């Protein structure tokens, strides 16, 4: 089978986008996605994203496979790439247009802002332990600045779900965090039954945070959109930042706002096309 694809990235978090509109099920299996994501034997990406025919009143449906073949509920950088890719498939400039996208985390609405920028209504963050999910606290309690001991070291963590699980850790100096060593210990920790994405955050000022991420199912990536949203939610819960804050990731900056009005998190950032091609 030959498969047409387009490569996009959102701040260096890179994805293989597949026009899957002919069907409501992904054209390739998770195992095939792992091969395509391989940076030496495949195209190379942090994940594969499918633009699918929707089964409900939304405009399109999105599914994602991580580079290890697991399937996350949502992907923040991915949905910006998804929205930009749709305008390419539709062949029309769509500045100002808001799409309704069906994801495993529910309805997500990206708006095309022009200049390659996309603003996404990421919905409401979930804070109760059972919805992260984590067993660090009782089911109906929030996890804000709680002690988690990993490899004999104390970490104070806050947990937020943006559809997918995030464990947020504020540290004095993110450069001192050995992500390759500690990332997997958080990801596969028993307190997180669905595993977890983990973000280490340094507060630069009340509206500027620096973050680096170990992603569930993908490892170190240059950016994580859902993670940046979860970072600002955790920052507000811990009185460390404003509701409207810039998050600097290794691949660049995202503007995040946790709205007081509707409790939704809004993320603004770029989506960039790299190339398109065909794989055999
Ligand atoms: O939750 C997970 O398993 C993540 N690896 C999904 C991907 C998240 C992403 N980095 C984002 O930008 O939200 C794409």
Please give the model's pTM, rounded to 2 decimal places. 0.95
- Smallest Cα–Cα separation from 266: which of 222, 237, 225? 225
- Token duo for residue 100: 């309704």
Is 253 annotated in the active site?
no
Catalytic residue among 37, 81, 167, 224: 224
Inter-residue contact 256 to 244 (CB < 8 Å)? yes
Task: Flag whether pLDDT at 9 surpasses 90.
Answer: yes
Give the chain's radius of gyration (CA, Å): 18
CA-nearest residue, atom 7 of ligand 1: 75
* Mean pLDDT taken over the chain: 97
Give the position, in ligand 1's atom list, of the atom nearest the Cα of 162. 13
Q: Could you tell me the pLDDT band of residue 1, with boundaries at 50, 70 and 90? A: confident
Instruction: Work out the average pLDDT over 251-256.
Output: 98
pLDDT at residue 199 is higher than 90: yes
Q: Which domains does the chain have, with CATH numbers?
A: 3-123+270-279 (3.10.310.10), 129-263 (3.10.310.10)
Neighbours of 57 (CB within 10 A): 8
Q: How far, in Å, is the centroid of ligand 1 from the Cα of 103?
A: 13
């Amino acid at each position: 089978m030959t498969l047409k694809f387009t490569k996009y990235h959102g701040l260096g978090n890179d994805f293989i986008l597949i026009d899957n509109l002919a069907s409501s099920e992904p054209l390739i299996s998770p195992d095939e996605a792992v091969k395509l994501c391989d940076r030496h034997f495949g195209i190379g990406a942090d994940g594969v994203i499918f633009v699918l025919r929707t089964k409900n009143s939304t405009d399109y449906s999105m599914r994602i496979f991580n580079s290890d073949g697991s399937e996350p509920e949502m992907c923040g950088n991915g949905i910006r790439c998804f929205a930009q890719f749709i305008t390419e498939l539709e062949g029309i400039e769509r500045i100002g247009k808001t799409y309704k996208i069906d994801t495993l985390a529910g309805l997500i609405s990206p708006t095309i802002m022009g200049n390659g920028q996309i603003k996404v209504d990421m919905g409401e963050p979930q804070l109760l332990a059972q919805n992260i999910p984590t067993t660090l606290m009782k089911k109906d309690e929030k996890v804000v600045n709680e002690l988690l001991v990993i490899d004999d070291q104390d970490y104070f963590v806050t947990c937020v779900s943006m559809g997918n699980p995030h464990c947020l850790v504020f540290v004095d100096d993110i450069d001192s965090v050995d992500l390759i060593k500690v990332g997997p210990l958080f990801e596969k920790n028993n307190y997180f039954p669905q595993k977890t994405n983990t973000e280490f955050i340094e507060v630069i000022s009340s509206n500027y945070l620096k973050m680096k991420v170990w992603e569930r199912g993908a490892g170190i990536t240059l950016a994580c959109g859902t993670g940046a949203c979860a970072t600002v939610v955790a920052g507000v819960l811990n009185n460390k930042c404003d509701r409207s804050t810039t998050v600097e990731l290794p691949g660049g900056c995202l503007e995040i706002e946790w709205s007081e009005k509707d409790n939704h998190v809004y993320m603004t950032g770029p989506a960039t096309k790299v190339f398109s091609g065909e794989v055999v």
